[in-house]
Chains A and B, each alone.
Chain A
Amino acid sequence: MTHIIAIALCIAGFASLCAAMVRHQPDFVGRKLDAGTSRLLRHAGFSLLLAALAVDMIGLGAGYGAVAWCAHLTLGAGLVLFRLNRTIARQPVKAKPARKG
């Protein structure tokens, strides 16, 4: 259960970080976000990743939790990257990125 919660938090965290990056916003969010929102998303992203660490360390013990967190981070980042790629692949060529990722 701890694994699932932590992975979910990592996915949310990396999704926020990705959405906070200006060059990915057209693909990932569908439009450019203003600087304030981006900054908020970036802070939210790091906070979510830290929350995942807290969940892991509380649920699995400090050492074990830290190791598991590294694995969860990898998995979360990989899944977000995969999603982003799928979104881009599904967009019609040269069409404006209009759909929400």
Chain B
Amino acid sequence: MKDGFRQSMAWLHTWTGLLLGWLLFAMFVTGTAAYFQEEISRWMKPEVIAAPDREAATQAAITYLNRTQPDAENWFISPPSARTPTANVFWQPRKVEGEEPRKRRGRRGDTSATLDGQGQPVTARETQGGFFLYRFHFDLHYIPVHWARYLVGVAAMFMLIAIFSGIVTHKKIFADFFMLRFGKGQRSWLDAHNVTAVFALPFYLMITYTGLVTLATQYMPWGIAANYSQPDAFFEEVFPGRAEVERSGIAAPLVPVTPLMEVARQRWNGADVGSVRVALPGDSNSTITLTRASSGAIGSRGESIVFSGTSGDLIEASAPQGGAMATQSVMIGLHAGRFAGWGLRWLYFLSGIGGTIMVGSGLVLWTVKRRAKLPDPAHPHFGFRLVSRMNVATIAGLPAGIATYFLANRLLPLGMEARADWEIHSLFIVWGATLIWAIARPEKRAWVESLALAGGLFAAVPVINALTVPRNGITGLLSGDWLFVAFDIAMLILAVGLGFAARKAARATTAKPPRRARAIKEELATA
């Protein structure tokens, strides 16, 4: 199969690329947007403006939990940070003997709260915010999380092999880097695909491998299975402070958390506390576990310290990580990019856009290559029609859906039942409607109309925002509310980019597909 090697690789690349391309496209779009998930969440909760003191807000959150959930098994507190203005808390209700502990899936509202700096629940609209885009990146939606992650893992594994085989088959890829041309005419789709593929290759390699690593224990649990009788035994060995504590039944008050946070900060060379766990609050055996914020270092597995909840004595500090664990921690950190400051965050974002263009142009390329060979170009066979319509629905439909998600956040009634769910449903309703539209219309019209729709929806976001909430880009300019300024600008760039793509699509001859690269690029400025 010597001659066939390149051919079989190409065949494999074409067909698995097509099958998984739609999924990879959605993963790239939502993953790239997720680099700004905190900012999107803040935009989607315009009522929240507090930017409180981290330590004081944590103490206030504990006071709140003490008042409302004194019997809980565990409290978990994420203190506010530079990127999140609120303290987010959730709790596990006390276990009842003989009853299965409640799973944290499903409705979170009854076991979680968003608190301001004074420990008061924030009255903000019900929304999942940027968190939904982040979760969709690897959990998808409407299907069981477990299966979604396998699907996502398969897509990532394919991409890893595609990258490796790409490097092997095109060994001279780096020496020939400057040979890459942004071509014109027929070759432009191939060029767009090649340039974006090579240009950020190190990023794709990193993001794909580390993406697999983030869910490694699900995809490859056999190392754990070979060494541990129970997976939990492994996790308890790796993450101290996770272990369950035995309830004594003797009541005892909690010590103030602020001094403990100061101790932790000093041990971590000034890095902030990223999460607080209080186990068995109110019991004499209670413990307080502090974990370093993931913004403090590249490694995402923050060190943790366990204190006694009643005396404040240090019980246990996580041992220095071994090489493998530190490697894993750095890999996950590199993937999530939580450590990145603004400059690096935008570079992450740009690389993500590169990936989106790479996948999107690859999808279009499939139809471009085959269109010329169609026996009857006016009436292509079913498979061709299916792929070309799926392309329209994915590449133009997902952006339209995301714009709708933002619009729904502003337009749905604030007191609506299951409001956050309906924001998400609206995304999928519009996405699905684009698919139906793409099937119903001639292909070229479908491109033009879907792109125009997506552009129009993004253009509507700043307008609807200005009409429905007091914060917007213009007031932001005057008051220094840069989040709203940036968001409005991003929406307008997206709208212009998609409108431009729609115009290009309308002008293109039927033999040529619309130029999509720019639109894809813009659509990701979503965040």
Give CA–CA (A88, B178) in the complex, Å. 12
Asked whether A75 lies within 8 Å of B347 as measured between CB atoms, the reply is yes
Asked whether A74 lies within 8 Å of B178 as measured between CB atoms, the reply is no
Number of A-B residue pairs, CB cutoff 8 Å, is 54
Decide if B484 is an interface residue (CB 8 Å cutoff): no
B344 CB contact (under 8 Å) in A71, A80, A81, A85: A71
Asked whether A18 lies within 8 Å of B348 as measured between CB atoms, the reply is no
Asked whether B351 lies within 8 Å of A81 as measured between CB atoms, the reply is no
Majority secondary structure of chain B interface residues (helix, strand, loop or mixed): helix
Majority secondary structure of chain A interface residues (helix, strand, loop or mixed): helix
Asked whether A71 lies within 8 Å of B351 as measured between CB atoms, the reply is yes
Q: Given A63-B297, A67-B298, A74-B199, A81–B347 Cβ distance below 8 Å?
A: no
Q: Given A67-B344, A68-B347, A81-B195, A74–B203 Cβ distance below 8 Å?
A: yes
* In the complex, chain A residues 2-25 whose Cβ is within 8 Å of any chain B Cβ: 3, 18, 21, 24
Give CA–CA (A50, B155) in the complex, Å. 35
What sequence of 0s and 1s flags, for each residue 75-101 of chain A, a beta carbon within 8 Å of any chain B beta carbon? 101101110110011000000000000
Q: Given A63-B298, A68-B344, A75-B350, A80–B178 Cβ distance below 8 Å?
A: yes
B202 CB contact (under 8 Å) in A24, A63, A70, A88: A70
Asked whether B298 lies within 8 Å of A74 as measured between CB atoms, the reply is no
Give CA–CA (A23, B95) in the complex, Å. 72
- Chain A residue, CB-CB nearest to B298: A63
- Chain B residue, CB-CB nearest to A86: B182
Q: How far is the CB of B325 from chain A (nearest CB, A)?
A: 16
Decide if B177 is an interface residue (CB 8 Å cutoff): yes
Contacts of B507 in A (CB 8 A): none
Give CA–CA (A68, B344) in the complex, Å. 6
* Size class of the contact patch on chain A: 20 to 34
Contacts of A89 in B (CB 8 A): 182
Give CA–CA (A64, B200) in the complex, Å. 18
Q: How far is the CB of B189 from chain A (nearest CB, A)?
A: 16
Decide if B414 is an interface residue (CB 8 Å cutoff): no
Decide if B238 is an interface residue (CB 8 Å cutoff): no
Contacts of B203 in A (CB 8 A): 70-71, 74
Give CA–CA (A64, B340) in the complex, Å. 8
Give CA–CA (A77, B268) in the complex, Å. 37
Asked whether B339 lies within 8 Å of A81 as measured between CB atoms, the reply is no
Asked whether B177 lies within 8 Å of A77 as measured between CB atoms, the reply is yes
Give CA–CA (A65, B465) in the complex, Å. 38
- Chain B residue, CB-CB nearest to A18: B178
Give CA–CA (A77, B347) in the complex, Å. 14
Q: Given A67-B334, A74-B199, A77-B199, A84–B344 Cβ distance below 8 Å?
A: no
Asked whether A64 lies within 8 Å of B178 as measured between CB atoms, the reply is no
Asked whether B200 lies within 8 Å of A74 as measured between CB atoms, the reply is yes
* In the complex, chain B residues 342-357 whose Cβ is within 8 Å of any chain A Cβ: 343-344, 347-348, 350-351
Give CA–CA (A65, B348) in the complex, Å. 14
List 9 A-B pairs, Cβ < 8 Å: A63-B297, A63-B330, A64-B339, A67-B334, A67-B344, A68-B344, A74-B203, A85-B181, A88-B181
Beyond contacts A70-B203, A88-B181: 13 other A-B pairs, Cβ-Cβ < 8 A, are A64-B339, A67-B298, A67-B340, A68-B347, A70-B206, A71-B203, A73-B202, A74-B199, A74-B200, A78-B200, A80-B178, A85-B182, A89-B182
Where the two chains meet, the residues of B that have a C-beta atom closer than 8 Å to any C-beta of A are 177-178, 180-182, 195, 199-200, 202-203, 206, 297-298, 330, 334, 339-340, 343-344, 347-348, 350-351
